[in-house]
Amino acid sequence: QVQLVESGGGSVQAGGSLRLSCAPSGSVFSIGTMGWYRQAPGKQRELVATITSGSDGNYADSLKGRFTISRDNAKNTVYLQMNSLKPEDTAKYYCNANDIYYKSSGLTYRTVELWGQGTLVTVFS
């Protein structure tokens, strides 16, 4: 089975930066759109940004200019660079991936969608 593994979360002072990474485990050879979502305590999960396999990015309007999504297709890894962080950015950040093709025991499989376990980002003032 393939899983998404996130890293890079932590605690940072307001105005600081963090870079999140997400990569799949297993023998993945192709992934479609990847993205980041976040969920703050007591709130619904919301879109942060997505990026297609061709590196076309899409952002939540409120985050444009501070957050940058990128990906390395050779590593099947997606990144989220977060700058000028604010306390309201505090949330658990989840990686999402679509159309994941991978090999297992010589066979090719496709998973429609995967979510990571989430990585916590805490911004203190």
What pLDDT, on a 0 to 100 scale, did the predictor assign at position 87? Answer: 97
Determine which helix (DSSP H) or strand (DSSP E) holds 19, and give its type and residue range.
strand 18-24
- Sign of the CA dihedral with 92 first, then 25, 112, and 48 last: positive
Q: Mean per-residue pLDDT for 44-55?
A: 97
In this predicted structure, what is the pLDDT of residue 5? 95
| DSSP letter, residue 88 | G
Look at residue 108 in the predicted model and tell me its pLDDT: 95
Residue 1 confidence (pLDDT): 83
Q: What percent of the chain has pLDDT over 70?
A: 100
For 2-18, how does the pLDDT look when each residue is reduced to its tens digit (9 = 90+)? 999 999 999 999 999 99
